Amino acid sequence: SDPTPDNAAIIQTMAPPHNNEALPPADRILRVSKSSILDGRDCATLNAADEHRKETVVASSKSESKVQVSDARRREPTAFLSDQEIAQSRIFRAAQSMACAYSSMMYQFSVEGHERLPKDRAALIVTLHTYHSGDIGICLLNAQKVTGRVIRGLLHRLLMRMAGFIRFLGVVPGYRDTAEELLSQGFWVGVVPGGAEEVMMHASENGKHAYETAWNSKEGQARCGFARVALKMGPGFEVFPCFCENGEEMKINPLADLWTFLRLDFAWGALARMMPFFIRWWMLQIAIVVAFTVSSFGIPLPVKVTQHIGEAVVVQKDDTAETLAERIRGSLQSLIDVKQKRRHRSYFAALCDRWCPGTAASEKKDQ
């Protein structure tokens, strides 16, 4: 029959294949009848509203996608793979097999205190920087074997440009936002706050201060970036100090020892401080690259190396970056003093630790 003359849409209930009367009213699907007498203007209005709604949904989806993909993820996508994905890659497995076999044979490498690390949540691991850096890869790869978790180690950005392939081992450039994003996603992050300045101090004076923390920048300011990252995680977040006992004695480097014995490192530093900032910065970068390269040619020594993981330093509500950094530094230094029992480098004492422990007892004292 002809539609009613009123200018109103006729809404009909679409009957499902089964008895429509048995369905509750909310489950009935309403549609605009084809016999609707809506004029063209009303139809255009509805179509425009529908198109606007679709565009809003698409724009919202794009906006959410942009929020989810952070700068850190775009910059280092490999770092945000799961622990299982990284550990199961061929590069990681090959490197881990070689590193674990080598460290076991050469250093009788072992880990103490790993049970303190949380298995199912994020953790920040802070350690001492050895001169040769030979312990870093061994610790990272052994950690996955012992705990099942892959540590995302933050490395100097310049060195990452020289050896970018180590991204496949979980290593990432040391950007603060990357660390924050990784921790917020529940990953373990490892950091060496001392950086190049700590390396230089450990190498100077033939290792007189090899087991002392040096967390000051080249301008003399305290390094607190890692503490700010921990504060971002909120009160209750745990930071774990760790170091390798006899880590400094893993390699002997006659060339580097001669360089420091002649105090040429002090001469280079004094010359750099006399230069304008730009030249001074480049001289420091050159020193880092040279030190890293020279240290790679060290001669391995068969000493006993044990990685110690200390008690957690818990972030408090009233912590500042400076106070938290100092508490972490103090905790790490106390761990070193208790386990290493000396702050100077001693190849003889480290060798005796493995081959004749009784002889090393008198050597392990502060001088």
Please report, in tens digits, the pLDDT of each residue of the chain (367 residues total).
Answer: 444 444 444 334 444 444 444 444 444 433 433 344 344 444 455 455 455 544 554 444 444 444 456 888 999 999 999 999 999 999 999 999 999 999 999 999 999 999 999 999 999 999 999 988 889 999 999 999 999 999 999 988 877 787 778 899 999 998 999 999 999 999 999 999 988 778 878 888 888 999 999 998 766 788 899 999 999 999 999 999 999 999 999 999 888 888 888 888 788 888 988 899 889 888 888 887 787 777 778 899 999 999 999 999 999 999 999 999 999 999 999 999 999 999 999 999 999 999 998 774 445 554 4
C-alpha span between 149 and 28 (Å, rounded): 52
Judged by DSSP in three states, 288 sits in helix
CB 245 within 8 A of CB 306: yes
Nearest to 261 by CA among 210, 203, 211: 203
- Looking at this protein, which amino acid is placed at residue 358? G
**Predicted structure pTM score:** 0.76
